[in-house]
Amino acid sequence: MGNVDGVPLASQVKSVVQVTRGDFAGAADTQNKFSQKCLGAAQVRSFVEVLGGDLNKAADTQKRFLQNARELMGATPEDPANLVDALPVLSQLKSTACFLDGRREEARATQDNFTKHFPVVSQTRSLLEVVSGRPNEALETQKAFMKFTSRVMDKVPLLGHAKAVVHRAVGEHERAEQAMNEANRVTRKTTRQIGTALTDMLNPSVHQRACSSDQEAFGREQTDINAEPLSAAEIAEHTLTLHIAAEQVQSHGACPICIADFEVGETCTTLRCFHLFHTNCCTQWLGQSGNCPVCRVPAMPEQQRSPGGSSSRGGPAGSSSRRR
C-alpha cells in the first residue's frame, strides 16, 4: 500500500532508479500508473482516451484515480462520508463518473456531501437554508459539517491523539477511544506506506515480483485485454471466497478497491491472479469490469470467454470457484 506511483516527482525518481537498474519495463509501468493516479495527469489521460473513442479506458482511468485518492486520504467505511466527497474537483470528478456510469443516486449523494462538508460551501448552504425559512435543515447541515470535521481531525497523527486526550479529560470516554484508535490506525498505516514506498523505490518489491510471476503464468499480453463484465454466475465460478485469517491480514493490509483495512474473519474473495479483496467490493467491481483491478489479468480465463463476452463452459478444469 505504500506505492509512490501516483505522487509527482517521487514517481519520476522511482523511474530513474529503475532505469539505472536496467528495469526499463518497470520504469515504463511506473509512469503508466502515474498517468492513472496523479491529479491532473489522470484527467489529461482520460480526456485523450475519450478523444480516441475509448470510453471504457477513460472510465477505468478515472476509477483508478479515485481509488488512489481514497487510499491517500485514508477513507474507511465508517466515515460519515468519503473524504473524496468533501474536496473540490475530486468530488465533481467522482459525481461525473458515477453519473456517466448510471449511478445517479450516488452522484447526487456525492454532491450533497460536498455541500455539507466543504467549509465555505457548507456555511453558505446553511445560511441559504436559514434565509429560506428552513432553520432545522440549516442546523442539520452544521451538525453534519462538525461531525465530519471531527472525524477528519481524528485521522491526523498527534492531533488525533491530542484530541483523544481532550475528549477523555471532559468525560467523553467513548469518543476518546474512537479518536485514539483512529489516530493509531492512521499512524500505523502511514508508517507502513512510507516503509513500503522506500522499499518499492530502491528495491524490486515483493508485489512487483508477484506481478511478474502473474504475467509469466498468464501471458503478458493478457493484461492488455479489456475483459467484459462478469455475471453473478461467472463471478461465482471464477473466484474463491474465504474467511481471511490473521496472517493474511498481516500480509495484505487493506482491500485494494475500498482501501479499508482487512479484519480477521471477514469474507474475502481472491481471483486466479491471487489478489485479495473484500467480497462485496470484488463482486461490484467484476460486475463492471472483468479485469483484476490490481494487475489487469482477466478474472475469467481467455479460453472460457466467448466473443460475446459470456462464459463457454468447455474451459479447463480447476478454474471454478470453491467456498470455504
Exposed e or buried b per residue across 65-98, where buried means at least 16 C-beta atoms within 10 angstroms of its C-beta: bbbbbbbbbbbbeebbbbbbbbbeebbebbbebb
Distance (Å, whole) CA 86 – CA 90: 8
- Give tens-digit pLDDT for 269-302: 999 998 999 999 999 999 988 889 888 889 988 7
- Amino acid 39: pLDDT: 62
Average pLDDT, the chain: 74
* pLDDT at residue 216 tops 60: no
- Give the pLDDT confidence score for residue 269 in this predicted structure: 94
Q: What is the dihedral of CA 299, 301, 312, 280, to 10 degrees?
A: -10
pLDDT confidence bin for 215, thresholds 50/70/90: very low
C-alpha cell at 260: 479499508
Question: 205: alpha, beta or left, given left = phi > 0 and alpha = psi -120 to 50?
Answer: beta
What number does CATH give the domain 223-304?
3.30.40.10
Q: Which three cell numbers stand for residue 124?
A: 453558505
Task: Give residue limits of the domains in the chain.
Answer: 10-207, 223-304
Q: How far is CA 253 from CA 22, 66, 188, 191, 267, in A?
A: 30, 19, 11, 12, 15
